[in-house]
Amino acid sequence: MHQHLLSYRRRRYLRLSLGLLVASLLIYFSQAPTLPRNGGSWQGYTLGGVATAMILWLAWLGLRKRSYRSSLGTVQGWTSAHVWLGLSVLPIAALHGAFQFGWNVHTLAFVLLTAVVLSGIYGMFAYLTLPQRLVRVHGDQSRADWLTELNAIDARLRELAVDADARTQAIVESAVDRTSLGGGVLAQWFGFDRSRVLDPAAAGQGSRLLGNRGQQRLIDFLAARIPLAEQRGEVAMLQELLALAGRRRRVLDTLRKGVRLNARIKLWLVLHIPLTLGLLSALTVHILVVFLYW
C-alpha cells in the first residue's frame, strides 16, 4: 500500500498542492510593492485563512483514519493528500507571515508547524522504507516464529542447567531471566540491550550482577568452562549449552532489530500528534492576539 502512497491517482494531490502554491505566490506578489508585505493585508488574511483551513483539515485526518465506516474516499487517497498538502502548508504560511519572524507567538506557531512537517517527512520515509527492512530482518520467519524459537531455547537451557554445577546453573538461569528485550520508548528506539547475568562467584568484585550485552558474558563463561569439565557427559552438556547460547544471541539480535524498526515505524507519531496539538494551541493564540491587539 505504502509504495503507491505518493503516486496515488497519477499524483493528483501533488498537482493540487503545486497549484495551491502557485496561487499563493500570485496572491502574495499582488500586494502593493510600496507597502511592506505582511499578514495583515487582505492577501495576508487570505493566505493565513487558507493555511489554517489546511492545518485543521490535516489534523482531522487522525479522526478520519480511525473511522473505517466513513464513506469519504479511501484511506490511501487521504494519506497521499495529507502528505502533499501537508508539505505545501509551510510555504503558504511563510508567505502569509511575509517571512517576518521574531520572538513571538506568531513565530512559535510557525516553528511548531515546521516541526510537524519535519516529523511528517520522517514518518513518510519510515512508512516507505522500514516495512521492507523489517521483512528482511525477520527472513522467512515471522516475529512469532522467532519468539517461539526463543522460548524453546530458554526451556532447553533451563532443562540442561539443572544438571550442571551450581555456578553454571546460576549463570545460565539468571542470563535467561535477566535478558532484556524492548522496554521503554528510548530503549526500543535505540535497541538498548540491558541484559544482565548473576555470577555467584563474582561477589568479591562488588556486584554479582554483571552486564550481559549480546549474551557475551554467558557465552564467554560457557566457552571457558568446557575445558574444566571433569565428569563424563559434562563436556557434551556444556557444549550444548554453548551452542544454544550462541543461537540465542542470534535470535535475540533479530528480535531486537525487529523491535527497533517497529518502534521507528510507529513511534514518530508520538511526536507528530502532540506537535500538532501544540500547533493548534499556538495558532489559536496567534489568531486571538492579532484580532485583539493588532
Shortest spacing between CB 21 and ligand HEM, in angstroms:
13
* One-letter amino acid for residue 249 of the chain: R
* Inter-axis angle of helices 234-266 and 143-161, nearest 10: 150
Shortest spacing between CB 42 and ligand HEM, in angstroms:
11
Hey, which residues does 197 pair with through a beta bridge? 210
| Secondary structure class of 179 (helix, strand, coil) | coil
Cβ closer to ligand HEM: 94 or 244? Answer: 94
253 Cβ neighbours under 8 A, 6+ residues apart:
214
Shortest spacing between CB 244 and ligand HEM, in angstroms:
40
93 neighbors 51 (Cβ within 8 angstroms): yes
Q: Give the single-character DSSP code of 210.
A: E
Cβ closer to ligand HEM: 38 or 262? Answer: 38
Cβ closer to ligand HEM: 72 or 203? Answer: 72
Cβ closer to ligand HEM: 126 or 187? Answer: 126
Shortest spacing between CB 182 and ligand HEM, in angstroms:
22
Which residue, among 43, 116, 108, has the nearest Cα to 85 in the 3D structure?
Answer: 116
Where do contacts with ligand HEM occur on this chain (CB under 6 A)? 38-40, 44-45, 48-49, 51-52, 55, 58-59, 61-62, 65, 79, 82-83, 86-87, 89, 93, 96-97, 100-102, 104, 106-107, 109-110, 113, 116-117, 120-121, 123-124, 127, 269, 272-273, 276, 283, 286-287, 290, 294
CA 204 remoteness from chain centre: 42
